[in-house]
Amino acid sequence: MKPPEIAFVPTMGALHAGHESLIRLARSLSEDAVVSVFVNPLQFENPEDLAKYPRTPDVDTAIAIAAGAARVWIPTAQEIYPAKVDLIDSGEVGKTFEGAARPGHFDGMLTVVKRLFELTTPKWAIFGEKDFQQLFLVKAMVAKFDLPIEIVSAPIVRESDGLAMSSRNIRLSPEGRAAATVISQALGKAAPVKDLALARSTLAAALADQPLFTVDYAEIIDEATFLPATSTTGSNRAIVAGWINGVRLLDNMAMSQATV
């Protein structure tokens, strides 16, 4: 009998409820849900961040199996990069927003994702919408190299007060954690606004209300191009990133569509 096709969830570990939802989605697509845990040095522009990144393989394995993974793969750097690799160029979009704040990050991310795809040969690969620019770039890479893989996106999983789940949230002080709700609240205020200029000013004003949040960017982008939206005829999305207590937080929300 032919083995089931693979549904693949790439991760860097430190698994939380957001990852669990990706794994459950993978499991709904295939009995052979494979989760990789690999902290990819190429996507860290800061060596200190790479050194500090949590590594909890036993806990991650238990969480992944409980969420439905059939296999958890924790490769070594040697397995992923046995020889010198040529970085994949993430292009202009890779240099904006998250890419502007983290130069080289998306080239490193695409390079590892392509290697992971080569080594796991999945039919489906699941990515969360939380890293919406990552999702955009992975889809663009799959199209560019004509890879026979379906990229499946999964909605953001939120805490009960709206904060998007992230392994970074635990680094917030109690005060910072309370302040962080401003991000999803601001997105929620901007998302229904039909006029683009008004939506942008609504987003900026709502974020400015919280002095603990330092905005890096707050923009409404066209999902087809990842450029700032110029019309409301296509699918647009509000994206936000910034810092609280020195912790970088990002979030996004689909704009309700309707032409003004």
Task: Name the residues that contact ligand PAF, by CB under 6 A.
Answer: 10-12, 40, 43, 109, 112-113, 131, 134
Question: Which is nearer to ligand PAF, 33 or 229 (by Cβ)?
Answer: 33
Separation CA 158–CA 207 (nearest Å)? 18
Question: Which is nearer to ligand PAF, 113 or 147 (by Cβ)?
Answer: 113
Structure tokens at 157: 């999983």
111, with CB counted inside 10 A (0-12, 13-18, 19+), is buried
Separation CA 30–CA 149 (nearest Å)? 14
Question: Which is nearer to ligand PAF, 38 or 213 (by Cβ)?
Answer: 38
Q: What angle do CA 192, 243, 91 make, to 5 degrees?
A: 75
Q: Which of 205, 204, 159, 209 is nearest to 179 (CA)?
A: 209
Min CB(171)–ligand PAF separation in Å: 16
Separation CA 169–CA 153 (nearest Å)? 22
Min CB(256)–ligand PAF separation in Å: 27
* Eight-class DSSP state of 169: G
Among all residues, which ones are annotated catalytic?
19
Going by C-beta distance under 8 Å and a sequence separation of 6 or more, which residues neighbour residue 83? none
Min CB(197)–ligand PAF separation in Å: 32
End-to-end CA, the chain: 55
Min CB(11)–ligand PAF separation in Å: 5
Question: Which is nearer to ligand PAF, 119 or 196 (by Cβ)?
Answer: 119
Q: Which of 42, 191, 29 is nearest to 105 (CA)?
A: 42
Question: Which is nearer to ligand PAF, 50 or 212 (by Cβ)?
Answer: 50
Min CB(208)–ligand PAF separation in Å: 29
